[in-house]
Amino acid sequence: MYDRPMHNPADRTPEAARAAAEFYSDTVAEVANAVKNDPVVVVGMAQNPVVKKARANLDKAGVGFTFISHGSYLSEWRRRLSIKMWAGWPTFPMVFVRGVLIGGNQELEAAIAEGHLKEWLEGEEGPTRDA
């Protein structure tokens, strides 16, 4: 497994833990709910050409998806930050397949080209999760 060193949540004051948990919790709940319930979810933002490319790649592959967008380069950056904190992924788009973050557009393109996306959606098991 590839773990990025992160600050231990147990080493927070109750005030800091509460602030982190409440930081745009409605946005995090929206994304988490979609990831839990929808086969393919793309999280992005307006004006980002890579997000548009990911959506176009899924359209071209004939794969339906849920798209969640919050703001643009000029707005809602805190809301997008809350999603990044939740997912642990630094950029948009974020592509989730059957509840698993597969990465961004580059990883999506590879999954389509290698036939993995189709396998994940049609098979009994989705993408492999690191344990």
pLDDT band of residue 4 (cuts 50, 70, 90) is confident
pLDDT number for residue 1: 60
Q: Running DSSP on this structure, what letter comes out for residue 9? A: G
pLDDT in tens, 42-98: 999 999 999 999 999 999 999 999 999 999 999 999 999 999 999 999 999 999 999
- Model confidence, pTM: 0.92
Find out whether the peptide bond into 93 is cis, omega within 30 degrees of 0.
Answer: yes
Residue 130 pLDDT level (bands cut at 50, 70, 90): low
pLDDT at 103 over 90: yes
Closest CA to 84 of 2, 4, 1: 4
CB atoms within 10 A of CB 115: 9
Quick one: pLDDT band at residue 131, thresholds 50, 70, 90? very low
CATH number for the segment(s) 11-122: 3.40.30.10
pLDDT for the residue 93: 98
